[in-house]
């Protein structure tokens, strides 16, 4: 279960964070793990390509409806087992542009979860009879089950056409916390594997190891070094003044009318509080005194970790640079809700930590 990290944690559970999935890190270095898991129909496989996850066909239109629920397409392990070549051992990518990449996501409630990144690979595999293996409905309607050898459909081709594909921003507000967390891990590692094909130290090709959680450099002279995905820390700060007004800003890169709180990446040599104060000063000219940690959220676009603070302003005189930050203003709760309802101001999306920070200040969802 989700548990707060510290007594100062005031934000609720945030979309995209993990909820109750046991990572079982000690199993990842077993090169046979993926194949073993896919031999069991208790293993659930989710599909990811280029940072988007597969959902049942037709559910994609629900992203525009607040109350609609969306789930992941899940396949039984045996449904995709034949996609994993026998000869590759623990390394599932023999060249930068070949094969799909399986990722062991962990276990929950008796089920193991494997994500299959199909961003690039299209591999022909016979489709088992879905009634025998409990495959997702998306594949059970009229799919050929024993096609002739030369007309055999690829399961990945089926997935591409029989699923809708959505990004995490669209999926998370409509998903269970468990599935949003699984999708976040899968999409994060998927995007990393797709962005990095070569060792950043020696330039040799890499292969996926540790069940998708790392890469190994293929150069023996570089000791076949193991490379882990980088996670980039960022700070985000809700700044209030002595009258509990909130400081909102509009950046030039944002769509017109969109307002949010101060945020930026942690730079070399900084601790979190230095980064939060520096960003506030750079963006709005506001000096922040006390800072309180309020929560964190993985933000895999592509690989950030957002750490949120509440800050108190020493003064209220705003100075923006007019370039990166176009404007900034203090708002009371009444002014804020009036600006929202009139359409003058747009708030951050429902999957974002910024939204939760503003709702915490406002005292209610909006
Ligand atoms: Zn290397």
333-342 vs 353-362: helix axis angle to the nearest 10? 130
More confident residue, 223 or 68: 223
Tens of pLDDT along 125-139? 444 444 444 556 556
pLDDT band at 41 (very low <50, low <70, confident <90, very high): confident
Tell me: pLDDT of 321 over 60: yes
Domains of the chain by start residue, with CATH: 25-194 (no CATH), 232-362 (3.90.79.10)
More confident residue, 136 or 70: 70
| Mean per-residue pLDDT of the chain | 85
Distance 208 CA to ligand 1 centre (A): 13
Report the distance separating Cα 78 and Cα 265, nearest Å: 42
Distance 95 CA to ligand 1 centre (A): 15
Distance 332 CA to ligand 1 centre (A): 54
What mean pLDDT do residues 187-214 have?
93
Tell me the HSE value of 298 on the side-chain side, using a 13 A CA sphere.
22
Distance 203 CA to ligand 1 centre (A): 6
Distance 218 CA to ligand 1 centre (A): 7
Report the distance separating Cα 45 and Cα 48, nearest Å: 10
Distance 227 CA to ligand 1 centre (A): 9
With a CB cutoff of 8 Å and minimum separation 6, the contacts of 113 are: 21, 43, 44, 45, 46, 104, 105, 106, 107, 182
For 85-99, 169-183, 229-243, 326-340, which range has the lowest pLDDT when averaged over its residues? 85-99
Report the distance separating Cα 240 and Cα 262, nearest Å: 11
């Amino acid at each position: 279960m989700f548990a707060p990290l510290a007594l100062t944690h005031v934000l609720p559970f945030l979309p995209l964070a993990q909820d109750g999935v046991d990572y079982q890190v000690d199993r990842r270095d077993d090169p046979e793990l993926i194949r073993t898991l896919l031999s069991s129909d208790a293993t659930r496989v989710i599909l990811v390509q280029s940072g988007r996850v597969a959902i049942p066909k037709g559910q994609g239109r629900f992203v525009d409806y607040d109350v609609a629920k969306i789930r992941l397409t899940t396949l039984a392990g045996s449904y995709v087992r034949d996609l994993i070549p026998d000869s590759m051992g623990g390394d599932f990518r023999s060249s930068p542009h070949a094969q799909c990449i399986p990722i062991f996501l962990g276990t929950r409630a008796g089920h193991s979860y494997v994500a299959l990144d199909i961003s690039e690979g299209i591999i022909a595999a016979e489709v088992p009879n879905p009634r025998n293996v409990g495959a997702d409905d998306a594949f059970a309607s009229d799919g050929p089950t024993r096609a002739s050898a030369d007309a055999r459909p690829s399961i990945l081709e089926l997935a591409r056409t029989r699923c809708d594909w959505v990004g995490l921003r669209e999926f998370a507000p409509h998903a269970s916390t468990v599935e949003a967390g699984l999708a976040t891990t899968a999409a994060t590692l998927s995007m990393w594997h797709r962005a990095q094909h070569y060792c950043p130290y020696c330039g040799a090709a890499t292969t996926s190891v540790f069940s998708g959680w790392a890469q190994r450099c293929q150069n023996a002279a570089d000791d076949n070094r193991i490379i882990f995905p980088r996670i980039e820390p960022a700070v985000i700060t809700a700044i209030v003044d002595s009258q509990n007004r909130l400081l909102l800003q509009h950046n030039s890169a944002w769509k017109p009318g969109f307002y949010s709180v101060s945020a930026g990446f942690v730079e070399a040599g900084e601790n979190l509080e230095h980064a939060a104060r520096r960003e506030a000063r750079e963006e709005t000219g506001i000096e922040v005194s006390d800072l309180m940690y309020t929560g964190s959220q993985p933000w895999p676009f592509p690989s950030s970790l957002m750490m949120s603070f509440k800050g108190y302003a020493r003064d209220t005189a705003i100075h923006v640079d007019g370039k990166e930050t176009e404007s900034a203003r203090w708002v009371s709760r009444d002014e804020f809700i009036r600006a929202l309802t009139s359409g003058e101001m747009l708030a951050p999306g429902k999957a974002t930590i910024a939204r939760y920070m503003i709702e915490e200040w406002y005292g209610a969802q909006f």
